[in-house]
Structure 1
C-alpha cells in the first residue's frame, strides 16, 4: 500500500470518527432535552476491564437497571445519554461510579419517550462524543495535510 492510499484511508477514517462524534453528540443532546424521570431498580453492577498493548487498561463501570415505562418493562446499562461509553483510567475510579448504584436499590433514571429502551442514569453530558469528534478532526486534518504533501511531491517527481 503506497503512502497516498494510507493518507487517503486516514482521511476517511477521520471523517468516520468525526461523523460518529457528531452523531453521538446529537443523540445525547436530544435525549437530554426530552428526558423524563422514571423509577428504576439496579439489578447488577460490574467493572469491565479492557486491555490494549499500547495504553494499558481501561475500566468501564457497568450498571444494569430495570424500569417500566408505559406498561412495558425494560433493562438498560446506559450510565449517560450518549451512545459511546466512556472509560475510567483506574479501577478505583470505575468502582466509585459503580458504588453510587448499589444492587437492589431504587434509583431515578431518565429516558427520551421516543426511545424508551435507552434509559440512562446521569444527566451530565458525556465527554465521549467530543473526544470522538476531536480525534476524528485531528486524523482528518493530519491525513489531508499528508495526502496533499504526497500528491505535491509526486507531481514534482513527475516534472509536472
Structure 2
C-alpha cells in the first residue's frame, strides 16, 4: 500500500484483529453508564459526610440574625429558591456565623419562592435556637438534625442513569452480535 491509499475495509490489524471503530450506541451507553456511576459516587460521598457530621455533632445555642430566600440558577436555566437562616453561635469560646439548615454543602432548593419561604416559618429574627456543630468544622453549624435528602436522591438518580446506560450497552452489544452472525 502506498502512502496516500486508504486501508481496505475489514483489513486486519497486525494482531490479527479487525480494525473497527466503536459503534456509536456502545460509546454513548458507556458514557451514560459512567455518568450514572459518577452521580452515585457524589451522592454516596455526600451521604457519608452528612452522616459523619450528624454522628459527631455538638449542640449549641444560637441566635437567628437574618431570614431570607436566595434565588439561584437551577438546572435547565430555571430559577430555584433556597431558604436562608443566618445565625450566630459560640463554640469553644469562638464566635461563628452560619447559614446552613442541613449538614453538608447541599442545601435544598425549591421551585417557587413561597415554598422556600414556608420553610422559614418556624424561625424569627432574634429567636434562640439549637444549632449543631461538627467539631471538625465549627464554622459550618446547621439547624436541622437530619439529612436534607439530596444525597439519597442523587444516589437514586445515579442508579437509574446507570441502569439506562447498562441496558443501552446490553442492547448495543446484542445488536452487534446479531449483525456479526448475519454477516
**Could you say which TM-score interval applies, normalised by the shorter chain?**
0.7 to 0.9
Q: Give matches, 1:12-31, under 5 Å.
A: 12-31=34-53
Say whether 1:47 aligns with 2:72: no
Among candidates 69, 81, 92, match of residue 70 of structure 1: 92
Determine which of 120, 133, 141 is the counterpart of 1:111: 133
* Bigger helix fraction: 1
Contact persistence 1:40–1:68 (CA under 8 A) = yes
Contact 1:69 1:116 in 2 (8 A): yes
Q: Structure 1 residue 10: deviation in Å?
A: 1.2
Aligned length, in residue pairs: 160
* TM superposition shift of 1:137: 0.6
**Does 1:8 pair with 2:30?**
yes
User: 1:141 maps to what in 2?
Assistant: 163
Structure 2, unmatched stretches of 5+, are 1-22
Deviates more, 1:113-122 or 1:66-75: 66-75
Contact 1:11–1:140 at 8 Å: present in 2 too?
yes
Question: What is the CA distance between 1:124 and its match in structure 2?
Answer: 2.9
Provide the TM-score with structure 1 as the length reference. 0.84
The residue aligned with 1:124 is 146
What's the Cα RMSD here?
2.4
Q: Aligned with 1:109: secondary structure?
A: strand
Q: TM-score with structure 2 length normalisation? A: 0.75
Task: Kindly name which structure, 1 or 2, has the bigger radius of gyration based on alpha carbons.
Answer: 2
Deviates more, 1:44-53 or 1:33-42: 44-53
